[in-house]
Every structure is written in structure tokens, then in C-alpha cells.
Chains A and B, each alone.
Chain A
Amino acid sequence: MSNAEMSVRQRSAAQRRIRYVREYGPLWVLAAPALILLVLFSYVPMAGMVIVFKDYNFLKGIWGSPWVGFKNFEFFFYNMDNALRATKNTLILNALSMTFSTLASISLAIMFSEIRSKKFLKITQTISIFPHFLSWAVIGGIATAFLSYDKGMINSLLVSMGGERANLYNEPGYWPAILTVFNVWKGAGYSAIVYYATISGFDTSYYEAAEVDGATLWQRIIHITVPMLLPTICILTLMSVGRIFYGDLSMMMSMHNLNPMLYSTTDIIDTFVYRSITELGDYSMGSAVSLYQSVFGFVLVLTSNYIVGKFSSDSKLF
């Protein structure tokens, strides 16, 4: 290869680089703020997960603290019960909320799609989406109007029917139901929109043909709407299954303010980690449980995403 040829090649490489910068440089500049935020609040914390192998010392920080190997996982042996209970509660509460929210939102969407009065549809839809936009802090406050021991509506109702007052805020047995009800109340109307939008997009000729064949309203729903909605249902369900290891700390905080009497049914992984930091100051336990949540969560997201891909490659997350 001659020198001249080399320099031509180098020049053209340089030119290409200049062209790339001129052409796509602005895109990198536009992407930069988002990438910086991602690195700061997602990727650096991921690197910070090494504290699970360290004896965390606030002054030395994450990277300066001494390595201790697997010592932080020892608590699994002496605090196994609590870790297991938190895992069990997370799974149960999420499964309950998922099941009932999905059922409620599908039923709502199907019913919405059959309503012929535009005005009725608009008003009821608008109202049922609203609770989604309330914070858990607000909902926790509203909930006391129903759950309070001496003034709450549920207890007033119980008393007026000749029953005994139920001590809802101190009785763990009621809480899976209470949390599920409030979750459905908050989210069902909102998630119904997705299903409703899907139903609105269905080919109307199926319905027309069914009508010609004399199908009843109920038959149309069971034999057309539900089967056609099934892929969407599967995908959304699988996506939420992927998040089954993640609980909602702010919901727990505001609904019962981490009442110790309710731990047996409401202490989830997230509250367990939070408590291990704030109450016990035990970073090792918090970090170990946190790691185990991330890993299981990750495996589940990947698995559910893989299964979603089997149903429809368009709906895969990645």
C-alpha cells in the first residue's frame, strides 16, 4: 500500500468522523441529559450494590468500606423467618392485587365498550379514572374515614346492623383484603382504558356478522370480545407478573404507617428493607435483601418477557 493511498484512506476516515459528528452529534447532545440522569440514578446505584459484600461505614462510603465477603448474608440464618415472611407477603399481596385489578379492569372495559350512551360513558369513565391521580398519602387519609375504630363508616355500619366494632387498624387478617380493595379502587378504572382502547380497535365486521347470525349480546362478548382481548390480557398480566417481587413502600407507609401489629400480613420486602435501614440501622441485612429482590425480580422480568415474546413479538419489552 503506498503512502498516498494510506493518507487518502485516513482522510476519508476523518471525513466520515466529521460527517458523523455533524450529522448525529446533535442527537448525542439531545440524549445527554437523559443519559446523565440514568447514569446518576440507575447505573451508579447498580455499582453501589457492591455494599452487599462490604461492611458499610458511613464515613468511608460505599467504595471505601472494607470487604467482608458473604458475611452480610448470614442474617438469612438468624433472621430467616422475617425475610421469608416479607417475601411471602410481597408475593401474596401482589398476586391478590393483580388478579382483582385485572378482573375488574377487563370487566369494566367490556362493559364500557357496550355502553351506547356517549354522555353516560364519558361521565363514568372520567370519574372512574380519577382515583389513579390521588397519591397514597391522600388515599391513606381518606381510608381512615372508612377504617377508623370509633368513627369509621365500616364500623358504624357494623354497629347499626347489630354487630361488634372491628379493630381494623390492629388486625392483620383484614389487611390483604383492605389493601386489595384500595388498589383496585385506585387503579382499575385507569387500567380499563388500555383494554377499552384495544376493544375499540377491533374489526367491527365480526360483530356485524354475529348480529346477522342472531347472536345475543352476551354471546358476542363471550365469543368475540373475550377471545380477541386474550392476547392483550396475557401480555399485561405477564408484565405485571414480572414486577411481583416489587412492592409499594409508599402505599404501606400511608395506609397503616408500618404498624408493627400488622407485620404478619403487610411486611413486604420493600418495607423490610426500609425498616432495616431506618429502625435497625442494619445496612447489611437491607442490602442483602435488596440484592435478592433485584435478582429475583430480574429473572422474573426476563422470563415473563420471554413468554410475552412467544405470544406476540411486538409486545416484548425488548
Chain B
Amino acid sequence: MLRTKTDRIVMVIFYTVIALFAFACLYPIVLTFMTSITDEQTLVRNGYQLFPEKFSLAAYNIIATTMSSKVFSAYRITVMVTVVGTCLSLFVTASAGYVVSVRDFKHRNFINMLLYIPMVFSAGLLPWYLVCTKYYHLTNTIWALILPPCLNVFNVFLMRNFFSSLPSAVFESARIDGAGHFRIFFLIAIPMAQVGIITVGMLYALSYWNDYYNALMFIRKSNMYPMQYYLYNILSNIQFAARQSQSHTNYNITIPSETMKMAIIIVTILPILFLYPLIQRYIVKGVVVGAVKG
């Protein structure tokens, strides 16, 4: 294996670089967490530190008390959108993926083409925005957060690849036994493509959880802000304040404070942090299957 000295040196370099990259990926998140439990005065005095002099849970306290109603409402919207959206997307995607995986369906190519065109040509932001607001009346509705991102064509093809990789003999014998496509889809294809369903479900759930683009476009009422958009608003206020305070005249305006900002980030990514170890292997699998295009 590693016969020469240079081989061993190269290997040590590889381990080091990878460890450093992983560290670089982890560090900002740990820093965010540590800042969220730092005492505000310590932060203002010393700047961001991995090991602050003085800890404080004040930020979480404020979130749990004075800000609780806003945070709770944003969280509720996000959870609702994620749950409803993921279920809907999953159904739409799996059924479309199944249809384009049926080989003897002669209009399959037509549907494929309808799916491909938007990947290649998009109308752009403005017509999309006008159609959604003027004709579908999505402004300030929960559907604005669910419907526009509901179908991701990449995921349809991912799902198709999962269905295509199933043994075709099972489907053929089901056809011979007289099963229709509804029955095959619900009773055979879905249970057999479980890994695919979970993978695509995870991808959708993450994209709904992380989406703030649609909120930026369509949501004006602050009681309908999802978590990410609420976070974005708080951050942009701070950045705005930071820009104004260049002259150092109003140096101490920190409402909402820096530690609180980080605490809200932690609250926002908490579910991802907890679920990540569980869902990670499905996502890796999904990327691999998606890369091997059928």
C-alpha cells in the first residue's frame, strides 16, 4: 500500500487537509452556538470568541419571553409549510417519477419533454412574480410558500431513477396478473422505492425549511413570516444598523443584540442539527443515485 516515504507523507497531508476542511465547516457553527451563550457585554468588548470570558443565557431568555410569540408564530408557519409541502411535493414527484419510468407508455417522452423545458428555459423572476401575485393571488397566503416550490424537476428524475432501478420482473408479473397502474404505483412501486421516497422527502423537507425566497416575494404580513424570513429580517436590520454606525456615534445600538441574532440562528437550525445524523446517509445515497442519470 504505502511503500515509500513520500506515499506516507502524501497520506498525512490528505488526512490533514480533510481534517482542516471538516474543521472549517464545523467551526462557524460552533462559533455561532458559543456566541449565542455569550454575555452581551463581553461580546461587545472582546468581539466574537470561541471561548468567551463570560457566559449568559440572556439571549435565549429573551427569545423565550418577550419574543416568544413572534418566534413561535414563525416556527409554526415553517413547520406547517414543511409538513404540508413535503407531503404534497412527495406525492406529486413520486407519481410523476413513476409515470416517466413506465417504459411502454408511449406518451412518456412528451411528459419528459414538458418536464425538461423548464430546466432549460425559465421565464425569469418578473413574469413569474406577476403571474403569481396578479392572477393566482398568492400574496400573503400560506400557499405562496407551498405551491411555487412544490415541484422540483430534478427530484422527479431522481425518483424516476429509483423506480427504474427496481427489478422490472415484479412489475411485469403484476401487469400479467391484471393489476392496473394505480395499484402497481401505490402497492408495489412506492413500498419498493422506500429509500427513494425517504431521500426525496428529506430533500423537499430541507428546501421547505430553508426557503425564504418565496416569503421574500409574497409575504408582507409579519405574522405570516416563516422562520428563515423572520431571521433574515432581524439580520438585515442589524446589518443596516452596522452600516449606519460606521461613524461610531451610535456605537451601542444593538437591538436586537448580537447574541440574540446567533441564538435565533441556533433555534432556526436546531431541527436540522438534530435530524442531520439520521437523514445524512439518505441524502448521500440520493446524490449518488441522482448522479448516475438513467
Contacts and interface: CB of A to CB of B under 8 A. Distances in A.
A and B: partners?
yes
Interface of A: 22-24, 26-31, 33-35, 37-38, 40-46, 48-49, 51, 56, 58, 61-62, 107-108, 111-112, 114-116, 120, 123-131, 133-138, 140-142, 144-146, 148-153, 155-156, 167, 169-170, 185, 188-190, 193-194, 197-198, 211, 214, 216-218, 246, 249-250, 253-254, 256-257, 259, 261, 270, 273-274, 277, 283, 286-287, 290-291, 293-294, 297-298, 301-302, 305, 314-315, 317-318
Contact of A151 (B48, B102, B229): B48
B235 A140 contact: yes
Q: Which 4 A-B pairs have the closest CB atoms?
A: A48-B127, A290-B124, A34-B96, A135-B210
Given A51-B127, A170-B246, A290-B125, A27 B99 contact: yes
A41 B152 CA distance: 11
A214 B28 CA distance: 43
Contact of B131 (A45, A142, A254): A45
B48 A152 contact: yes
A37 B98 CA distance: 17
B2 to A, nearest CB: 7
B61 interface: no
Interface residues of B, number: 110
A115 B21 CA distance: 14
Nearest to A221: B10
B211 to A, nearest CB: 7
15 contacts: A30-B182, A41-B147, A41-B151, A46-B123, A62-B134, A129-B284, A130-B29, A141-B264, A142-B29, A151-B44, A156-B48, A197-B292, A253-B236, A294-B124, A318-B116
Given A35-B96, A58-B134, A197-B287, 15 more contacts: A29-B182, A40-B147, A42-B118, A44-B131, A51-B126, A126-B276, A130-B276, A138-B265, A155-B47, A193-B288, A216-B6, A217-B2, A249-B213, A254-B235, A314-B293
Contacts of B243: 169-170, 259, 261
B95 interface: yes
